[in-house]
Amino acid sequence: MFSFDTVIRNGTVVSGEGVCNADIGVRGSTIEAIGRALPQGAREIDATGNLVLPGGVDTHAHIEQISAAGLRTADDYASATTAAAFGGTTTVLSFAAQHRGLDLQQVVTDYHAAATRGAVIDYGFHLLIADPNERTLAQLPSLVASGCSTVKIFLTYERLILDDERVLEVMAAARALNAMVCVHAENQGMISWTSKRLIAKGKTQPKYHAVAHSREAEIEAINRIIALAKMTGVALMVYHVSTAEGAAAIGEARRQGLNVHGETCPQYLFLVTDDLDLPGNEGAKLCFSPPPRTVDDQVALWRALELGDLEIISSDHAPSAFDETGKLSAGPNPTFKQIPSGVPGIETRMPLLFDKMVSKGHLGVEAFVHLTATQPARLYGLANRKGVLQAGADADIVVWDKDREVALTASLMHDKTGYTPYEGRRIVGWPETVLIRGTSIIEQGELRVRPGFGQFLRRAV
Ligand SMILES: [Zn+2]
C-alpha cells in the first residue's frame, strides 16, 4: 500500500506559506501533505527544476454563450475548457446569460446542461441579469443557494443595459443574499453619441472602436457604479478595468472601506490602442470592450495590481471567429459598431502573465499565483478549495517548465477563433503537466480526459 496516489517530487512549490522546495502528496482528489521527502506514491511526478503552482482560476469567460444579437460564441464548453487546461487554468467561471424575456431559472438549467456535457475543467456560473423583473428577482435566493453566488450586470449595450434604478434593485436583492454584483462599467450614452458622429463622418474602420469607447465612458461608469454600491452596501466587482483613473477610483473606494473590488485582463496589460490599427478589416480581431489604452495606463494597472487596488487578472475570454459566424457577421467590411466585441484569451492568460511576472521578474511568482488563482478563488466563494496548494485543498496542480520558450501562434491554441491577439510573441515558461482533483488532465502535450470530466462548483457567498 502506498501512502499517496501521487507524489509530485522535488519542485519549487508556491503554497499559502510561501515558496519552498517540497513534495506534494495527493490522495484521492485532494492534497494530503506538503513536505520534504514524502514517502513513495503509487505514481511519481518528477518536478526537479520546475515550479509547482496551483491551477489557474479564471473568473471571467464567455463560453457557449448566445449574445443578445443572437450570435453564439465560437467556443463550446469542450473547446474553451480544453484551451483553458492547456494554458494552466483548472477552474473557470462563465455566464448563465439571461436575455430580456427569458426565465432566469431556465437559463441556468440550460447552461448546466451545456457545461455538464462539455467541460474538462471545474466550472461555476455568474448569473447574467438583463431583465430584473419581479420573477427574476424572486428566483435569486434559490439560485444563489444552489451555488451561483454572483450576479453580473451591464451599464452598456442596448439589449443588456440596466438604468440606475434597475441597478439599485438588483444590488438590493443581491445585498440581501450577500451575493456580489459584477459589472461591465461603460457609459452607454457617451459611447452611442460618439459612435454616431464617427460613422456620420465615414470613420468606420475597426480602429475607431477605441475612439467610440472613450476612457471617459469607463471612468464615469466606474465612479457611478461605486456610488450605487455605496448606497446599497452591496459587494461590487468592477470587471476589466482599462484606465488609470478607473483603477484609482476603485483604490479610493477601498481605502474608504467599501466592499469594492476590481479586475483587469491581459489585453489591457499587453496591448494598446494602436494595436487596433491594422490593414483592412484585420482590426476587427482586436475589437473588445473596453478597448486597450496607453502604455501609461498599463503602468498604472500594474501599479494598482501591486498595491491591491485591483485584485484579479481574468481573461474575459470572448471567442468570436474571424468569419461570418462572428467578427464578420455583418459582412466582410463591417463598421466598428457591427463587430461583435471580444478576444480569445483563456489559454494565453497564464503563460503571458507567467512570462512577465515570473520569467521577467515583474512582481514575482507569489504575486502571479495570488492574482491568477488564490485571490480569484477567495473573492468568488472557493477559498481553501481552489487556487491554493495546502492540505485539504483540491489537488489542482500545475507543473510549470520555467525554461521552455514558446512563440505564441494561432495553430498552438485550442480555442475555435483561429487567431490570437498575441501572434508571434515569444514567452518563457509553459504549463507542462496539469492535474485536477488529482487526475492528470494535461500530460506531454495531450489532453487526458474526456469532455464532461469538469465538475460544477457550488460557490459560497
Ligand atoms: Zn466579459
pLDDT at 161: 96
Q: Do the Cβ atoms of 315 and 80 come closer than 8 Å?
A: no
* Percent of the chain clearing pLDDT 70 (strictly above): 100
Q: What is the mean pLDDT of the segment spanning 421-428? A: 98
d(CA 226, CA 117): 38
Q: What is the mean pLDDT of the segment spanning 155-169? A: 96
pLDDT at 67: 84
Is 92's pLDDT higher than 90? Answer: yes
pLDDT at 16: 75
pLDDT-derived band at 113, boundaries 50, 70, 90: very high
Task: Concatenate the DSSP letters of all residues of 107-119 into one string.
Answer: HHHHHHHHHHHH-
**Consecutive H or E run containing 10:** strand 4-15
Q: What is the mean pLDDT of the segment spanning 290-294? A: 98
Give 180 Cα–ligand 1 centroid separation in angstroms.
Answer: 16
pLDDT at 103: 98
pLDDT-derived band at 188, boundaries 50, 70, 90: very high
Give 67 Cα–ligand 1 centroid separation in angstroms.
Answer: 11
d(CA 350, CA 371): 10
Helix (H, G, I), strand (E, B) or coil at 36: coil
Give 318 Cα–ligand 1 centroid separation in angstroms.
Answer: 7
Give 151 Cα–ligand 1 centroid separation in angstroms.
Answer: 13
pLDDT at 160: 94
- Counting every residue written for the chain, the total comes to 461
Give 240 Cα–ligand 1 centroid separation in angstroms.
Answer: 8
pLDDT at 70: 83
d(CA 283, CA 274): 10
User: Would you give the distance in Å from CA 301 to the centre of its chain?
Assistant: 16
**Consecutive H or E run containing 230:** helix 215-232
pLDDT at 17: 80
Give 289 Cα–ligand 1 centroid separation in angstroms.
Answer: 8
Give 343 Cα–ligand 1 centroid separation in angstroms.
Answer: 10
Look at the pTM and tell me if it is higher than 0.85.
yes
* Percent of the chain clearing pLDDT 90 (strictly above): 97
d(CA 33, CA 204): 58
Q: What is the mean pLDDT of the chain?
A: 97
φ, ψ of residue 226 to 5 degrees: the values are -65, -40
Burial class (CB in 10 A: 0-12, 13-18, 19+), 70: exposed
Give 59 Cα–ligand 1 centroid separation in angstroms.
Answer: 10
Give 301 Cα–ligand 1 centroid separation in angstroms.
Answer: 18
Which residues are placed with Cβ below 5 angstroms of ligand 1, an ion? 316
CA-based end-to-end distance of the chain: 40
Q: What is the mean pLDDT of the segment spanning 73-89? A: 98
Give 302 Cα–ligand 1 centroid separation in angstroms.
Answer: 20
Give 95 Cα–ligand 1 centroid separation in angstroms.
Answer: 9
More confident residue, 70 or 39: 39
Is 244's pLDDT higher than 80? Answer: yes
pLDDT at 422: 98
